[in-house]
């Protein structure tokens, strides 16, 4: 991609565009050939690259962990078993430290969230042009390989967590308890009149707090990963510009390589941290859903 005669703006737009499937202007179903077509497809369009990469990474995660579990031994464990046991122990410690209720679903959910998001984030370390070039050779107009840079993916995960929070809030506290939690906190009074006046204020405050949970989960992950991808794209553009301006200049080439390598090493921390934050907030939100207020 970097070698083609396109402007910097076109290069950036190309790398930020998903492989979108939906209804074309002529009424048929197919792949969008440009961002305008993808935008015109509207709400029911499907980002095939986001779904495909996320699905494959999920299958890889399940296959690896299930294979290690089947071959687990009580004797001297191998490297794979040591790694999986270390991850499970880390998740178990995180859940025990943040979740005070009793729910067998929370730990497996936390493990799935952490590993799956980490793997999706890790795709950002694949050289920016490699997979899009392969996709172009196969006839695909676009390929965006980092699912967490697609807000549809991050919002989908956060909405699923939000549904679980609502479900367990109602299951543990009952409909009346959940409604009372929204209407009678944080302001309350023993005076019935003042208590009634506080209800709409509490509903507004608690409603905003409730809606903010999936928004913060999704936008934090999306924003950090999108910014990281943009920096990789800009570094690729800078390297291409230097290569054209100074053919054979090893200093400029070395500088670009060092910048890219430095950002990639730093980005490993961001990749891991964002997966950990999403997992931790999920555990905390579910813990709050399991707590009964009296």
Q: Which residues are catalytic?
A: 216, 220, 224
* Bridging pattern class, strands 20-23 and 29-31: antiparallel
> How far is 284 from 95, CA to CA, in rounded Å?
9
> How far is 46 from 29, CA to CA, in rounded Å?
11
Q: What is the 8-class DSSP label of residue 23?
A: E
Largest Cα span, the chain: 81
Q: How big is the CA angle at 276 (ends 53 and 262), to the nearest 5 degrees?
A: 75
**If 0-12 CB within 10 Å is exposed, 13-18 middle and 19+ buried, where does residue 289 land?**
buried
């Amino acid at each position: 991609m970097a070698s083609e005669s396109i402007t910097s703006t076109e290069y950036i737009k190309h790398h930020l565009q998903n492989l979108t499937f939906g209804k074309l202007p002529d009424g048929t179903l197919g792949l969008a050939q440009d961002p305008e077509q993808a935008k015109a497809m509207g709400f029911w369009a499907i980002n095939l690259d986001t779904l495909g990469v996320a699905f494959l990474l999920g299958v890889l995660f399940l296959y690896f962990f299930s294979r290690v579990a089947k071959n687990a031994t009580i004797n001297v464990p191998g490297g794979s078993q040591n790694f999986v046991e270390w991850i499970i122990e880390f998740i178990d410690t995180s859940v025990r430290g943040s979740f005070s209720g009793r729910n067998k679903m929370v730990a497996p959910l936390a493990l799935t969230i952490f590993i799956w998001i980490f793997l999706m984030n890790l795709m950002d370390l694949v050289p920016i042009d490699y997979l899009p070039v392969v996709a172009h050779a196969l006839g695909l107009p676009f390929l965006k390989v980092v699912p967490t840079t697609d807000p549809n993916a991050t919002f989908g995960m956060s909405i699923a967590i939000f549904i679980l929070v609502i479900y367990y809030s109602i299951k543990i506290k009952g409909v009346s308890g959940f409604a009372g939690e929204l209407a009678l906190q944080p302001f309350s009074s023993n005076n019935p009149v003042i208590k009634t006046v506080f209800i709409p204020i509490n509903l507004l405050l608690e409603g905003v707090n409730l809606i903010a949970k999936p928004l913060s989960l999704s936008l934090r992950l999306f924003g950090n990963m999108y910014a990281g991808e943009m920096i990789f794209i800009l570094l690729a553009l800078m390297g291409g510009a230097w290569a054209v301006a100074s053919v054979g200049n090893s200093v400029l080439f070395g500088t670009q390589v060092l910048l890219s390598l430095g950002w990639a090493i730093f980005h490993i921390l961001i990749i891991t941290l964002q997966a950990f934050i999403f997992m931790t907030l999920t555990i905390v939100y579910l813990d709050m859903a399991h707590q009964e207020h009296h």
